[in-house]
């Protein structure tokens, strides 16, 4: 949840907007209140889409479709004005996690929970189909686990059964991994398409994985249109149900009524009305039996016939206990809105979605260096902690081209910050038109910077006083960086000719030049115990022994490349991130993938029209229990390395986070990247 900005509306219709919950490919989502104080959620079509008649028509259809079904199986649409400028929809505020969030956090559902979920979803689909609609995008993210049972949401691509509209060439509406074969092939779809997807949803809920998931869109489509997969771990009772849902002949798939009769006929304590599951004040809201009770027909499920298997009518029976009705520890809230493409995260105490936290300190490093009409280029090139962890050093660049009449500006700054308070202790400005600097601490914690000139020598200076400490021979190469050796006796630098030069750290005297091909251990990412050095070659990481120089093994990352990699504190895990919004954890002994974290919202719009998110920085906390992932949209995601839980989102601006640094106690985190903003969060 974020405060309203100056560009956000303050009122839509009769609703007063309070905060911004988020935005998706189609709209922006706000938390609002009625004049009487009731909370509602309002979605507004994105400004750039208001003039698109197709999006306006779809937006209007969302409200119409959701209203047809009503609020018993969805989140109730309370108001809408699709003709307004901008168009908006208001829905009831319904707290509760999505099925996707619940399974990711708590694991697969047990059989009684799965039965309750299947019955609730079948009832919901029966109501949707009974209104003459096909949902077409049923998936765990669109199933809200409310207190009184599951709600099916997002009617953005729902269609009447008799609609003749076809998608354009090459256009697929829906989420690929939860599509039916006819959807994947862009063929007309009917209610049976939702039943195929119901089988996939139940398989995910029962096992925690989607059997149609794959690395590429083409591979997913191939799985969907091929023979149904074999899924291990399904309860015996659900295997024939899911297999029947996955029949490639839509006419042979079961109806929602078939599923209800099959599951409700088993002696599990599940009743026909569900009345006992509702609080007393809710029981009267149950819709007429004509909506919930299936038409009698031959069942498509093996060994079942609806006419031979009437539903029990005992008023004392109850549905299986639903796990989402248990208290959820360490929970914060989620709101999922019927008919909305985007799920948003408000502040509540009932849902496991991690909260979004603004920085405790934000410093614009280049404030005052440019005028309003200028177009400067800023970045934080590096961030390093002093050996004792008390000082953070940042090295930032600033450049500004002003045309022919005014001089261009090229500056670099070395700044020192107090880790405890976040206050700047000192800064030094360097004219980068004459020199290119890099920053380092010596083994005793003295802050230094190397000033590389275009001449024969370069200089090592005290970052606080600017005093020249050493003059070093550049060895006729373009020096790229400078580091102390592990024992502090030498200074090492890799040049533009792929050679590593060595100088005496006390005298500055040149010692030797090493060819990287002869000694691979000189440069790379060292493991904490210094037994492994990692070299990156495109999307592959090669691990070498520092003792023998021999190749230990390789790790193949994403095809798009690896942007960042790092070891955990004890060196047993190597984390990688690239241009696919995936953070992958690898076992350094076996080089096998042991976990994958993603912040990607799996929707059609996010995959095809959303901004491309990449991982620019990965950092483990000092105790190794948390991994911080810096993203190209300015946010930082914190994950629990043991459970895989996404615990917190640190909110930033739209800049590429390239550096994330924890304080030694893990209670403070600093971040910076492609912009001029340095941010600090207190995590306790």
Cβ within 8 Å of residue 58, ≥6 positions away: 26, 156, 157
Secondary structure element (H or E) that encloses residue 440, with its range? strand 436-441
Residue 611: CA atoms inside 13 Å, Cβ hemisphere, count? 12
Burial call 224-239: b when 16+ CB within 10 Å, e when fewer: beeebeebeebbeebe
Query: Is 438:448 a contact under the CB 8 Å cutoff?
Result: no
Cα→Cα distances 420→143, 452, 619, Å: 44, 32, 19
CB contact at 8 A, 276 and 318: yes
Beta strands in 522-592 (DSSP E): 525-526, 532-537, 540-545, 551-556, 562-567, 573-578, 582-587
CB 385 within 8 A of CB 419: yes
Tell whether the torsion through CA atoms of 152, 154, 157 and 163 is positive or negative. Answer: positive
For the annotated catalytic residues, the residue numbers are 137
First to last CA, the chain: 20
Give the pairing of strands 356-357 and 646-650: parallel
Residues 6+ positions from 589 with CB-CB distance below 8 Å: 572
Taking CB atoms within 8 Å and a gap of at least 24, the contacts of 44-50 are 44/9, 44/12, 44/86, 44/87, 44/88, 45/86, 45/87, 45/88, 47/86, 50/85, 50/86, 50/87
């Amino acid at each position: 949840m974020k405060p309203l900005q100056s560009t956000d509306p303050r009122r839509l219709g009769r609703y007063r907007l309070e905060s911004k919950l988020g935005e998706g490919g189609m709209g922006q989502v706000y938390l609002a209140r009625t004049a009487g104080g009731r909370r509602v959620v309002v979605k507004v079509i994105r400004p750039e889409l208001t003039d698109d008649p197709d999006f306006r028509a779809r937006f209007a259809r969302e409200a119409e479709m959701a209203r047809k079904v009503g609020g018993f199986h969805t989140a109730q649409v309370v108001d809408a004005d699709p003709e307004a400028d901008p168009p908006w929809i208001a829905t009831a505020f319904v707290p509760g996690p999505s099925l996707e969030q619940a399974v990711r956090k708590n694991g697969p559902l047990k059989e009684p929970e799965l039965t309750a979920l299947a019955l609730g979803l079948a009832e919901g689909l029966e109501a949707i189909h009974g209104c003459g609609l096909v949902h077409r995008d049923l998936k765990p993210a669109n199933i809200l686990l409310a207190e009184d049972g599951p709600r099916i949401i997002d009617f953005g691509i729902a269609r009447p059964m008799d609609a003749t509209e076809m998608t354009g060439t090459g256009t697929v509406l829906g989420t690929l991994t939860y599509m039916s074969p006819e959807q994947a092939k862009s063929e007309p779809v009917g209610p049976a398409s939702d039943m195929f997807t119901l089988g996939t949803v139940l398989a995910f809920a029962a096992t925690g994985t989607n059997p149609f998931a794959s690395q590429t869109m083409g591979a997913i489509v191939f799985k969907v249109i091929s023979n149904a997969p074999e899924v291990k771990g399904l309860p015996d009772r659900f295997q024939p149900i899911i297999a029947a849902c996955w029949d490639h002949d839509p006419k042979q798939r079961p109806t929602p009524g078939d599923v209800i009769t099959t599951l409700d006929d088993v002696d599990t304590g599940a009743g026909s009305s569900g009345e006992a599951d509702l609080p007393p004040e809710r029981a009267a809201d149950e819709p007429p039996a004509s909506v919930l009770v299936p038409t009698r027909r031959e069942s498509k499920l093996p060994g079942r016939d609806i006419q031979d298997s009437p539903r029990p009518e005992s008023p004392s029976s109850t549905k299986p206990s639903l796990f989402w009705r248990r208290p959820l520890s360490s929970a914060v809230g989620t709101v999922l809105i019927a008919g909305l493409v985007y799920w948003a995260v408000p502040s509540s105490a009932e849902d496991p979605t991690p909260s979004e936290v603004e920085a405790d300190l934000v410093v614009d490093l280049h404030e005052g260096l440019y005028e309003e009409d200028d177009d400067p280029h800023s970045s934080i090139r590096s961030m390093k902690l002093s050996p004792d962890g008390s000082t953070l050093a940042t090295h930032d660049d600033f450049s500004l081209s002003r045309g022919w009449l005014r001089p261009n500006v090229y500056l670099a700054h070395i700044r020192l910050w107090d880790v405890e308070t976040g206050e700047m202790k000192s800064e030094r400005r360097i004219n980068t038109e004459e020199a290119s600097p890099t920053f380092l601490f010596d083994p005793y914690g003295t802050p230094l910077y190397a000033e590389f000139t275009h001449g024969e020598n370069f200089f090592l200076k005290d970052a606080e006083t600017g005093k020249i400490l050493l003059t070093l021979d550049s060895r006729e190469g373009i020096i790229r960086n400078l580091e102390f050796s592990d024992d502090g006796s030498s200074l090492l630098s890799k040049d533009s000719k792929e050679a590593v030069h060595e100088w005496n750290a006390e005298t500055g005297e040149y010692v030797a030049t090493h060819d990287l091909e002869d000694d691979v251990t000189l440069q790379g990412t060292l493991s904490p115990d210094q037994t492994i050095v990692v070299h990156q070659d495109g999307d592959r990481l090669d691990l070498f022994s520092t003792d023998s120089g021999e190749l230990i093994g390789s790790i193949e990352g994403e095809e798009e490349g690896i942007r960042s990699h790092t070891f955990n504190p004890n060196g047993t895990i190597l984390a990688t991130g690239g241009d696919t919004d995936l953070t992958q954890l690898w076992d350094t002994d076996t080089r096998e993938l042991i976990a994958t974290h993603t912040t990607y919202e799996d929707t059609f719009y996010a995959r095809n029209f959303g901004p491309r998110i990449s991982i620019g920085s990965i950092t483990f906390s000092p105790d190794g229990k948390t991994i911080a992932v810096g993203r190209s949209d300015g946010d930082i995601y914190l994950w629990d390395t043991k459970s895989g839980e996404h615990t917190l989102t640190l909110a930033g601006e739209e800049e590429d986070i390239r550096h994330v640094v924890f304080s030694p106690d893990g209670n403070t985190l600093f971040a910076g990247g492609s912009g001029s903003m340095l941010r600090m969060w207190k995590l306790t």
